[in-house]
Structure 1
Amino acid sequence: MTKAELYKELSYVNHSREKRLYYANLVIDNPELLKPLLEILFDVDDKISPRAAWVFEFMCGEKLEAIVPHLDTFTENISKVHLDSAVRPVAKICEYLIKAYYSKQNNFITSHLNETHKEKITEACFDWMINDEKVAPKAYGMNALYLLGTEFDWVHPELVTILERDFHAQSAAFKARARHILKKIKSKNKKSNSKNL
Protein backbone atom coordinates (compact mmCIF):
# COMPACT_ATOMS: atom_id res chain seq x y z
CA MET A 1 0.00 0.00 0.00
CA THR A 2 1.40 3.40 -0.94
CA LYS A 3 1.34 6.46 1.32
CA ALA A 4 -1.39 7.94 -0.89
CA GLU A 5 -3.50 4.77 -0.53
CA LEU A 6 -2.94 4.74 3.23
CA TYR A 7 -3.94 8.40 3.40
CA LYS A 8 -7.16 7.59 1.55
CA GLU A 9 -7.85 4.60 3.85
CA LEU A 10 -7.41 6.79 6.93
CA SER A 11 -10.40 8.87 5.87
CA TYR A 12 -12.53 5.83 6.82
CA VAL A 13 -11.19 5.80 10.38
CA ASN A 14 -13.69 7.16 12.88
CA HIS A 15 -14.12 7.18 16.66
CA SER A 16 -15.29 3.57 16.76
CA ARG A 17 -12.98 1.12 18.47
CA GLU A 18 -13.66 -1.39 15.69
CA LYS A 19 -12.32 0.89 12.90
CA ARG A 20 -9.27 1.99 14.88
CA LEU A 21 -8.42 -1.58 15.77
CA TYR A 22 -8.89 -2.76 12.18
CA TYR A 23 -6.38 -0.20 10.89
CA ALA A 24 -4.02 -0.71 13.85
CA ASN A 25 -3.88 -4.43 13.00
CA LEU A 26 -3.36 -3.58 9.33
CA VAL A 27 -0.25 -1.60 10.32
CA ILE A 28 0.96 -4.32 12.73
CA ASP A 29 0.66 -6.87 9.91
CA ASN A 30 2.38 -4.51 7.44
CA PRO A 31 5.19 -2.77 9.36
CA GLU A 32 6.29 -0.93 6.20
CA LEU A 33 3.14 1.21 6.68
CA LEU A 34 4.50 2.66 9.93
CA LYS A 35 6.78 5.20 8.28
CA PRO A 36 4.05 6.67 6.01
CA LEU A 37 1.57 6.55 8.93
CA LEU A 38 3.94 8.69 11.01
CA GLU A 39 4.53 11.05 8.08
CA ILE A 40 0.75 11.57 7.86
CA LEU A 41 0.45 11.94 11.65
CA PHE A 42 3.19 14.58 11.74
CA ASP A 43 1.71 16.56 8.85
CA VAL A 44 0.17 18.39 11.80
CA ASP A 45 -2.09 20.82 9.95
CA ASP A 46 -3.80 18.15 7.86
CA LYS A 47 -7.28 17.07 8.95
CA ILE A 48 -6.28 13.40 8.49
CA SER A 49 -3.39 13.77 10.98
CA PRO A 50 -5.59 12.96 14.03
CA ARG A 51 -6.89 9.81 12.32
CA ALA A 52 -3.31 8.64 11.81
CA ALA A 53 -2.70 9.41 15.50
CA TRP A 54 -5.73 7.32 16.54
CA VAL A 55 -4.50 4.35 14.51
CA PHE A 56 -0.96 4.75 15.82
CA GLU A 57 -2.20 4.90 19.43
CA PHE A 58 -4.21 1.69 18.97
CA MET A 59 -1.24 0.00 17.30
CA CYS A 60 0.96 0.96 20.27
CA GLY A 61 -1.71 -0.32 22.64
CA GLU A 62 -1.65 -3.68 20.86
CA LYS A 63 2.08 -3.98 20.08
CA LEU A 64 4.16 -1.22 21.65
CA GLU A 65 7.51 -2.67 20.53
CA ALA A 66 6.55 -1.89 16.90
CA ILE A 67 7.37 1.78 17.65
CA VAL A 68 11.03 1.02 18.45
CA PRO A 69 12.51 1.62 14.94
CA HIS A 70 10.60 4.92 14.86
CA LEU A 71 11.36 6.30 18.34
CA ASP A 72 13.61 9.06 16.96
CA THR A 73 10.95 10.24 14.49
CA PHE A 74 8.18 10.04 17.09
CA THR A 75 10.01 11.89 19.87
CA GLU A 76 11.45 14.52 17.50
CA ASN A 77 7.97 15.48 16.30
CA ILE A 78 5.59 15.11 19.25
CA SER A 79 5.88 18.75 20.26
CA LYS A 80 4.65 19.86 16.81
CA VAL A 81 1.26 18.13 17.19
CA HIS A 82 -1.38 20.72 18.07
CA LEU A 83 -4.84 19.59 16.92
CA ASP A 84 -6.76 18.48 20.04
CA SER A 85 -7.86 15.18 18.53
CA ALA A 86 -4.23 14.32 17.66
CA VAL A 87 -2.65 15.56 20.92
CA ARG A 88 -4.64 13.10 23.06
CA PRO A 89 -3.44 9.90 21.32
CA VAL A 90 0.14 11.20 21.10
CA ALA A 91 0.09 11.92 24.84
CA LYS A 92 -1.31 8.43 25.47
CA ILE A 93 1.55 6.88 23.45
CA CYS A 94 4.05 8.85 25.55
CA GLU A 95 2.41 7.45 28.69
CA TYR A 96 2.59 3.91 27.21
CA LEU A 97 6.31 4.36 26.49
CA ILE A 98 7.16 5.74 29.90
CA LYS A 99 5.09 3.11 31.74
CA ALA A 100 6.84 0.38 29.77
CA TYR A 101 10.25 1.94 30.37
CA TYR A 102 9.79 2.07 34.16
CA SER A 103 7.95 -1.25 34.34
CA LYS A 104 9.55 -3.87 36.55
CA GLN A 105 9.39 -6.38 33.70
CA ASN A 106 12.27 -6.34 31.31
CA ASN A 107 10.91 -5.31 27.93
CA PHE A 108 11.96 -4.07 24.53
CA ILE A 109 11.24 -0.41 25.37
CA THR A 110 13.60 -0.40 28.38
CA SER A 111 16.56 -1.17 26.16
CA HIS A 112 15.62 1.23 23.33
CA LEU A 113 14.21 4.39 24.91
CA ASN A 114 17.29 6.57 25.37
CA GLU A 115 18.03 9.81 27.26
CA THR A 116 17.15 12.01 24.28
CA HIS A 117 13.81 10.24 23.84
CA LYS A 118 13.03 10.70 27.54
CA GLU A 119 14.00 14.40 27.38
CA LYS A 120 11.69 15.00 24.40
CA ILE A 121 8.81 13.19 26.12
CA THR A 122 9.43 15.14 29.36
CA GLU A 123 9.39 18.41 27.42
CA ALA A 124 6.16 17.51 25.59
CA CYS A 125 4.45 16.40 28.83
CA PHE A 126 5.34 19.67 30.57
CA ASP A 127 4.03 21.57 27.53
CA TRP A 128 0.69 19.75 27.80
CA MET A 129 0.59 20.53 31.51
CA ILE A 130 1.13 24.29 31.09
CA ASN A 131 -0.69 24.86 27.80
CA ASP A 132 -4.42 25.12 27.32
CA GLU A 133 -4.99 21.43 26.57
CA LYS A 134 -7.91 19.18 27.35
CA VAL A 135 -7.81 17.01 30.50
CA ALA A 136 -6.74 13.73 28.82
CA PRO A 137 -3.29 14.89 27.56
CA LYS A 138 -2.68 16.57 30.92
CA ALA A 139 -3.60 13.34 32.75
CA TYR A 140 -1.35 11.19 30.54
CA GLY A 141 1.39 13.80 30.90
CA MET A 142 1.05 13.83 34.70
CA ASN A 143 1.41 10.06 34.89
CA ALA A 144 4.45 10.05 32.61
CA LEU A 145 6.07 12.92 34.52
CA TYR A 146 5.48 11.20 37.84
CA LEU A 147 7.42 8.16 36.57
CA LEU A 148 10.14 10.29 34.94
CA GLY A 149 10.50 12.10 38.26
CA THR A 150 11.53 8.84 39.92
CA GLU A 151 14.69 9.07 37.80
CA PHE A 152 15.17 12.83 37.29
CA ASP A 153 15.01 14.64 40.64
CA TRP A 154 14.06 18.03 39.15
CA VAL A 155 10.81 16.74 37.57
CA HIS A 156 8.67 16.22 40.70
CA PRO A 157 9.19 19.73 42.15
CA GLU A 158 8.26 21.27 38.77
CA LEU A 159 5.22 19.01 38.45
CA VAL A 160 4.05 19.81 42.00
CA THR A 161 4.34 23.55 41.28
CA ILE A 162 2.21 23.25 38.13
CA LEU A 163 -0.40 20.99 39.73
CA GLU A 164 -0.81 23.20 42.78
CA ARG A 165 -0.86 26.41 40.73
CA ASP A 166 -3.49 25.17 38.24
CA PHE A 167 -5.53 23.03 40.61
CA HIS A 168 -8.40 25.46 41.31
CA ALA A 169 -8.92 26.46 37.68
CA GLN A 170 -9.19 22.90 36.36
CA SER A 171 -11.99 20.35 35.94
CA ALA A 172 -13.02 17.73 38.48
CA ALA A 173 -11.27 15.02 36.43
CA PHE A 174 -8.01 17.01 36.46
CA LYS A 175 -8.31 17.63 40.22
CA ALA A 176 -8.88 13.93 40.96
CA ARG A 177 -5.81 12.90 38.95
CA ALA A 178 -3.72 15.75 40.37
CA ARG A 179 -4.63 14.78 43.97
CA HIS A 180 -3.61 11.20 43.24
CA ILE A 181 -0.24 12.24 41.74
CA LEU A 182 0.50 14.77 44.52
CA LYS A 183 -0.23 12.09 47.14
CA LYS A 184 2.18 9.67 45.40
CA ILE A 185 4.93 12.32 45.25
CA LYS A 186 4.48 13.23 48.93
CA SER A 187 4.54 9.56 49.92
CA LYS A 188 7.72 8.99 47.86
CA ASN A 189 9.36 12.06 49.44
CA LYS A 190 8.53 10.83 52.95
CA LYS A 191 10.12 7.46 52.18
CA SER A 192 13.30 9.00 50.78
CA ASN A 193 13.53 11.47 53.70
CA SER A 194 13.22 8.68 56.26
CA LYS A 195 15.99 6.75 54.44
CA ASN A 196 18.26 9.78 54.69
CA LEU A 197 17.84 10.16 58.46
Structure 2
Amino acid sequence: MASALQTKLDYVNAYRENRLKCAQEILDNPYLFAELISICFSPDDANHHKACWILEFVAYEELIWLQPHLDFFCSNLKILKDESAIRPIAKVIQLLVKSHYRKDENGISLSEENLQNCIEVSFDWLINDVKVATKAYSIRTLYLLGNHYDWIHPELQLILNKDFGNHSAAYKAVAKEVLKKIEK
Protein backbone atom coordinates (compact mmCIF):
# COMPACT_ATOMS: atom_id res chain seq x y z
CA MET A 1 0.00 0.00 0.00
CA ALA A 2 1.29 3.44 -0.95
CA SER A 3 2.25 5.90 1.76
CA ALA A 4 0.44 9.24 2.07
CA LEU A 5 3.45 10.95 0.47
CA GLN A 6 3.50 8.50 -2.44
CA THR A 7 -0.19 9.16 -3.03
CA LYS A 8 0.46 12.92 -3.07
CA LEU A 9 3.36 12.48 -5.50
CA ASP A 10 1.10 10.48 -7.83
CA TYR A 11 -0.86 13.68 -8.40
CA VAL A 12 2.10 16.03 -8.83
CA ASN A 13 2.76 17.26 -12.34
CA ALA A 14 5.28 19.67 -13.85
CA TYR A 15 3.18 22.78 -13.21
CA ARG A 16 5.01 25.02 -10.78
CA GLU A 17 1.88 25.74 -8.73
CA ASN A 18 1.29 22.01 -8.35
CA ARG A 19 4.88 21.37 -7.22
CA LEU A 20 4.77 24.28 -4.79
CA LYS A 21 1.57 22.92 -3.24
CA CYS A 22 3.21 19.55 -2.58
CA ALA A 23 6.35 21.23 -1.23
CA GLN A 24 4.20 23.23 1.15
CA GLU A 25 2.70 19.95 2.36
CA ILE A 26 6.21 18.78 3.25
CA LEU A 27 7.04 22.10 4.91
CA ASP A 28 3.87 21.82 6.97
CA ASN A 29 4.64 18.18 7.86
CA PRO A 30 8.43 17.88 8.41
CA TYR A 31 8.09 14.22 9.40
CA LEU A 32 7.58 13.51 5.66
CA PHE A 33 11.02 14.90 4.76
CA ALA A 34 13.04 11.71 5.38
CA GLU A 35 10.67 9.74 3.16
CA LEU A 36 10.94 12.42 0.46
CA ILE A 37 14.74 12.09 0.47
CA SER A 38 14.45 8.33 0.27
CA ILE A 39 12.11 8.51 -2.73
CA CYS A 40 14.46 10.97 -4.49
CA PHE A 41 17.18 8.34 -4.50
CA SER A 42 14.98 5.38 -5.45
CA PRO A 43 15.27 5.45 -9.26
CA ASP A 44 12.96 2.44 -9.60
CA ASP A 45 10.18 4.45 -7.96
CA ALA A 46 7.97 5.99 -10.64
CA ASN A 47 7.71 9.17 -8.54
CA HIS A 48 11.40 9.66 -7.80
CA HIS A 49 11.79 12.55 -10.25
CA LYS A 50 8.72 14.25 -8.75
CA ALA A 51 10.24 13.85 -5.29
CA CYS A 52 13.35 15.62 -6.60
CA TRP A 53 11.20 18.48 -7.91
CA ILE A 54 9.61 18.84 -4.48
CA LEU A 55 12.96 18.60 -2.68
CA GLU A 56 14.24 21.58 -4.68
CA PHE A 57 11.34 23.75 -3.50
CA VAL A 58 11.65 22.55 0.09
CA ALA A 59 15.41 23.26 -0.02
CA TYR A 60 14.73 26.91 -0.91
CA GLU A 61 12.82 27.25 2.36
CA GLU A 62 14.47 24.75 4.72
CA LEU A 63 17.86 23.77 3.34
CA ILE A 64 18.99 23.02 6.89
CA TRP A 65 16.62 20.02 6.95
CA LEU A 66 19.13 18.28 4.67
CA GLN A 67 21.93 18.45 7.27
CA PRO A 68 21.19 15.05 8.94
CA HIS A 69 20.74 13.46 5.50
CA LEU A 70 23.86 14.81 3.78
CA ASP A 71 25.89 11.60 3.84
CA PHE A 72 23.02 9.68 2.25
CA PHE A 73 22.24 12.51 -0.19
CA CYS A 74 25.82 13.06 -1.36
CA SER A 75 26.81 9.41 -1.57
CA ASN A 76 23.81 8.61 -3.78
CA LEU A 77 24.12 11.45 -6.30
CA LYS A 78 25.68 9.17 -8.91
CA ILE A 79 22.68 6.82 -9.03
CA LEU A 80 20.46 9.48 -10.60
CA LYS A 81 20.03 8.97 -14.33
CA ASP A 82 16.69 10.61 -15.13
CA GLU A 83 17.16 14.16 -16.42
CA SER A 84 13.99 15.24 -14.62
CA ALA A 85 15.57 14.15 -11.33
CA ILE A 86 19.09 15.42 -12.02
CA ARG A 87 18.21 19.06 -12.77
CA PRO A 88 16.56 19.86 -9.42
CA ILE A 89 19.24 17.93 -7.54
CA ALA A 90 21.95 19.94 -9.34
CA LYS A 91 20.24 23.07 -8.03
CA VAL A 92 20.08 21.64 -4.49
CA ILE A 93 23.82 20.89 -4.68
CA GLN A 94 24.46 24.50 -5.65
CA LEU A 95 22.39 25.69 -2.67
CA LEU A 96 24.25 23.33 -0.33
CA VAL A 97 27.70 24.44 -1.51
CA LYS A 98 26.75 28.13 -1.26
CA SER A 99 25.46 27.58 2.26
CA HIS A 100 28.53 25.59 3.30
CA TYR A 101 30.93 28.36 2.32
CA ARG A 102 28.76 31.18 3.67
CA LYS A 103 29.54 29.90 7.17
CA ASP A 104 26.64 31.50 9.02
CA GLU A 105 24.93 29.95 12.03
CA ASN A 106 22.19 28.48 9.84
CA GLY A 107 24.63 27.20 7.24
CA ILE A 108 25.08 23.68 6.05
CA SER A 109 28.22 21.82 7.03
CA LEU A 110 29.44 19.44 4.32
CA SER A 111 32.12 16.89 5.12
CA GLU A 112 35.16 16.53 2.88
CA GLU A 113 33.62 13.34 1.47
CA ASN A 114 30.33 15.17 0.79
CA LEU A 115 32.25 17.90 -1.03
CA GLN A 116 34.19 15.35 -3.10
CA ASN A 117 30.92 13.68 -4.13
CA CYS A 118 29.51 17.06 -5.16
CA ILE A 119 32.64 17.87 -7.17
CA GLU A 120 32.65 14.50 -8.93
CA VAL A 121 28.99 14.52 -9.91
CA SER A 122 29.12 18.16 -11.02
CA PHE A 123 32.02 17.39 -13.38
CA ASP A 124 30.19 14.27 -14.60
CA TRP A 125 27.07 16.28 -15.41
CA LEU A 126 29.13 19.01 -17.04
CA ILE A 127 30.92 16.68 -19.46
CA ASN A 128 28.08 14.22 -20.12
CA ASP A 129 24.98 14.62 -22.23
CA VAL A 130 22.53 16.36 -19.89
CA LYS A 131 20.36 19.39 -20.48
CA VAL A 132 21.72 22.92 -20.26
CA ALA A 133 20.07 23.81 -16.92
CA THR A 134 21.91 20.96 -15.19
CA LYS A 135 25.17 22.02 -16.83
CA ALA A 136 24.60 25.64 -15.76
CA TYR A 137 24.04 24.64 -12.12
CA SER A 138 27.11 22.40 -12.30
CA ILE A 139 29.27 25.18 -13.75
CA ARG A 140 28.24 27.59 -10.99
CA THR A 141 28.73 24.96 -8.30
CA LEU A 142 32.18 24.09 -9.58
CA TYR A 143 33.09 27.77 -9.72
CA LEU A 144 32.18 28.11 -6.02
CA LEU A 145 34.11 24.96 -5.14
CA GLY A 146 37.07 26.17 -7.18
CA ASN A 147 37.46 29.08 -4.79
CA HIS A 148 38.48 26.48 -2.19
CA TYR A 149 40.12 23.75 -4.29
CA ASP A 150 42.83 25.25 -6.48
CA TRP A 151 42.71 22.50 -9.12
CA ILE A 152 39.02 23.01 -10.03
CA HIS A 153 39.16 26.38 -11.82
CA PRO A 154 41.84 25.29 -14.33
CA GLU A 155 39.88 22.08 -15.10
CA LEU A 156 36.61 24.00 -15.38
CA GLN A 157 38.23 26.60 -17.61
CA LEU A 158 39.59 23.88 -19.90
CA ILE A 159 36.20 22.19 -20.25
CA LEU A 160 34.29 25.43 -20.79
CA ASN A 161 36.72 26.69 -23.44
CA LYS A 162 36.75 23.33 -25.22
CA ASP A 163 32.96 22.91 -25.25
CA PHE A 164 31.97 26.55 -25.74
CA GLY A 165 31.21 26.34 -29.46
CA ASN A 166 29.13 23.18 -29.19
CA HIS A 167 26.40 24.46 -26.90
CA SER A 168 23.33 26.66 -26.74
CA ALA A 169 23.20 30.38 -26.06
CA ALA A 170 22.16 29.67 -22.46
CA TYR A 171 25.22 27.48 -21.86
CA LYS A 172 27.47 30.06 -23.51
CA ALA A 173 26.09 32.84 -21.31
CA VAL A 174 26.83 30.93 -18.10
CA ALA A 175 30.21 29.76 -19.38
CA LYS A 176 31.18 33.30 -20.37
CA GLU A 177 30.09 34.67 -16.96
CA VAL A 178 32.11 32.05 -15.05
CA LEU A 179 35.15 32.25 -17.32
CA LYS A 180 35.22 36.01 -16.75
CA LYS A 181 35.20 35.46 -12.95
CA ILE A 182 37.95 32.82 -13.14
CA GLU A 183 40.19 35.02 -15.28
CA LYS A 184 40.04 37.95 -12.81
- Indicate the TM-score class for this superposition, using the shorter chain for normalisation: over 0.9
Structure 1: gaps of 5 or more residues: 188-197
Verify: 1:90 aligned to 2:85, yes or no: no
1:6 aligns with 2:1: no
Q: Does 1:26 align with 2:43?
A: no
Runs of 4+ with deviation above 3 angstroms:
none
1:180 — aligned with what?
177
TM-score by length of 2: 0.94
Contact 1:142 1:181 in 2 (8 A): yes
State how far apart, in whole Å, the 1-side matches of 2:67 and 2:61 are.
14
**Which residue in 1 is equivalent to 2:157?**
160
Aligned partners of 1:3 and 1:151: how far apart in 2? 44
- Structure 2 CA distance for aligned equivalents of residues 52 and 74 of structure 1: 13
2:113 counterpart SS class: helix
Please state how far the C-alpha of 1:4 moved relative to its aligned partner: 2.2
- 1:1-197 equivalences under 5 Å are 4-103=3-102, 106-110=104-108, 112-187=109-184
**What fraction of aligned residue pairs are identical, expressed as a percent?**
43
TM-score normalized by the length of structure 1: 0.88
SS in 2 for 1:109: coil
Tell me the matched-pair count. Answer: 184
Q: Counterparts of 2:107 and 2:70 in 1: how far apart (Å)?
A: 10
Tell which structure's C-alpha radius of gyration is larger.
1
1:30 and 1:77 mapped to 2: Cα distance? 24
CA distance 1:140–1:107, shift in 2 (3 Å) = farther
Report if the CA contact (8 A) 1:28-1:66 is conserved: no
CA distance in 2, matches of 1:35, 1:63: 13
Shift of residue 59, structure 1, vs aligned partner: 0.2
Question: Offset of 1:78 from its aligned partner?
Answer: 1.2
Give the match's secondary structure for 2:3: helix
Q: Quick check: 6-15 or 38-47, which moved more?
A: 38-47
Give how far 1:45 is off. Answer: 3.5
2:119 aligned counterpart, secondary structure: helix
Q: Distance in 2 between matches of 1:107 and 1:85?
A: 32
CA contact (8 A) 1:68 1:109 kept: no
Question: Aligned partners of 1:41 and 1:3: how far apart in 2?
Answer: 16
TM-fit CA distance, 1:36: 1.3
CA RMSD of aligned residues (A): 1.5
Q: Structure 2: which 5+ runs fail to align?
A: none
Aligned to 1:191: none
Question: What is the distance in 2 between the residues matched to 1:35 and 1:74?
Answer: 11
CA shift in 2, pair 1:144/1:158, >3 Å:
same
Counterpart Cα distance in 2 of 1:106 and 1:143: 20
